[in-house]
Each structure stands twice: as C-alpha cells, then as structure tokens.
Amino acid sequence: MKLAVVGATGMVGRVMLDVLEERNFPISELLLVASERSVGKTMAFKGRDYYVIGLAEAVLRKPDFALFSAGGSTSLEWAPKFAAQGTIVIDNSSAWRMDPEKKLVVPEINSEVITENDLIIANPNCSTIQMVMALAPLHGAYKINRLVISTYQSVTGTGVKAVEQLENEMSGISDNKVYPHPIHMNALPHCDVFEENGYTREEMKLVRETQKILDDRSIAITATAVRIPTSGGHSESVNVEFENDFNLDDVRELLQKTPGVVVQDDPENNVYPMPVTANGKDEVFVGRIRRDGSRPNCLNLWIVSDNLRKGAATNTVQIAEYLLSTKWK
C-alpha cells in the first residue's frame, strides 16, 4: 500500500499523519508531498524520518492513494494527474465538492455512493461534516424541511497564519494579519469571501454540501458563519424544522446510537459540548437538545467537533479505510 499525503507540512497534513499513525493505517510506502519550498525537509512518522518530495515526483511514483490537503488550485491542477496514473485521490479542498461527477462523502452517512470509477473523491467542509453527522439520522426519521445554522468557528479553520495572528494579538503584537480585523477578544461574522448574494462562501458551503450529502435539494437552509478566538474546534447552533413531529427522548436515543456521535446533554450539571473538550477527539458532540416552542416540529441542537480531525483529517482517512475494506480486500 503506497500512500501519498499531499500538503504534508500544513496544519491538516500534520494531523492527517497523526491520524494515520493512531489508526494504524496499513502503509508499505509513505510519500510526504508538499510545495517546492518544502522539498528536502524531513518529517517524522512512526519514529522514522521521511524526506518531503514534490508533486511531479509523487505522480511518477504512482501511489495507490493520495490524501490531498493542499488547497483548491493545487488540487484542480494535480488531482487529475494522480488519477490518470490510477491513484485514488481523496481531496480535502473545496475544488471538487460541488462537481456533479464527484462524490462528496462522510463515510458514516453515504459511503455507498462511491463506485469503482471514482478516482477523485471529495471530503466535505469541516462545518458541514460535523453537522450532517448529527442530522443524517434525524433526517431519516423525521425528514428535515428547513435548517437555520449559526457557526462559531476556530481560527484553525483558516490555517496556521490565523493561529499566529491570534497568538500575536494575545501578546500585544498586531503584525501579519490574516483577518481584516483583530480576532483576539472579538468575533468576526466573516468566514471566507463574500459571494454576490451577501453570504460568505463558508455559509454557502453549508447550504450546498448539506443538500448534496443528504441527497435532498428540497431542504431549505440559511447560515451565518462566525470566526471566534478559539483554536480547538468548531461549534454550531442548529435549528431544525421537521416535516414530522418527534419525541425528545427518541431524538436523544437516535443520536446516542449513531456511530461517531456522542451526546453530552445534561445542562443541570453543566454538561454540554465545548471546543475545549472536543479538541483532539474524532467524535461529533451534540447537546442542548431541546424543542423550539416558537414553531411546530422544530428542534434546537448544539454541535461541536474538532475541525482538524473529523472535520478534515479523520474523515479523509476514514474514506480511505472504507475503500480498503471494499476495493482492496
């Protein structure tokens, strides 16, 4: 099993290596791939040092899998070159997510959509992944008509330079800003760029990707995405309107039985999901489960997950694990 990690030196790439090691993914040959400025550097994996190589060399070495986390433009250029060699590409950027010919996959929800002809598979946006993990079983039971979403997203979702901006501002340094305003002791209703409709690209990802993963374009969705000064995970307040009524105990039981979801819902004892406790974990945590009394058949959820793990690296590795269990027996 020859595996390439493209974007290995980046924030998600490093977490991806951690996840591969923790899950003991079977690798006979590991290729660590990055941009030309990183070629020749060394990185450790399972106690061994590996030299970073460039994309052109990696393509020539024909890996079985290429796990991409190197940005959309890099993926658009290079993923087809890997695929042309027979490599299965699992891409963590937004490049292929809404391509009608590419599958957008959360393994616990829709891995069955992958076929033997799919050589480029898209990993959803981090905020979308954690939300649909909780919503998919509820959609199956009660049918979702509408979602109203507010996200509170970690600076790690922007990348290492955003983490540096937060750390610098905490130390009184205001140089090298990634965001248009300070992030320390602030909240920015501005994740990614604004589209013509007045929504940010991050907000529209939640709309478009959720409909694609749940295979239901009839779900009405509106979202507001906010960047906050945390570095351990994303949080979401989600208001769900169902076609059918529900029982709260049944909702909790359904979520408790969902693989990859952990219910933390005991507010009387101050038990509810938080980024600080989700940090470093692969599960999606759901709490503050309560009926919305202002409208019929409405539910409120608070959903938290580590955006670098289940929201990115872990989901990517899980897709590869699924393919191993089916195509590579």
| Active-site residue flag, 234 | yes
**297 backbone dihedrals φ, ψ, rounded to 5°:** 55, 35
Picking from 133, 244, 150, 131, the residue whose alpha carbon sits closest to that of residue 189 is 150
Got the DSSP string for 149-192?
EEEEE-GGGT-HHHHHHHHHHHTT---S-SSSS--TT--BS--S
- Which SS3 state, helix, strand or coil, does residue 230 take? coil
Q: Is the distance from CB of 148 to CB of 140 less than 8 angstroms?
A: no
User: For tokens 């195509």, what's the residue?
Assistant: 327
Q: Is the distance from CB of 135 to CB of 149 less than 8 angstroms?
A: no
Catalytic residue among 181, 184, 191, 234: 234
Q: Which residues contact 329 (CB under 8 A, 6 or more apart)?
A: none
Q: How far apart (Å, rounded) are the C-alpha atoms in residues 104 and 320?
A: 13
Catalytic residue among 126, 139, 191, 298: 126
| Active-site residue flag, 126 | yes
Quote the Cα angle for 13-97-142, to 5°: 110
Catalytic (active-site) positions: 126, 234
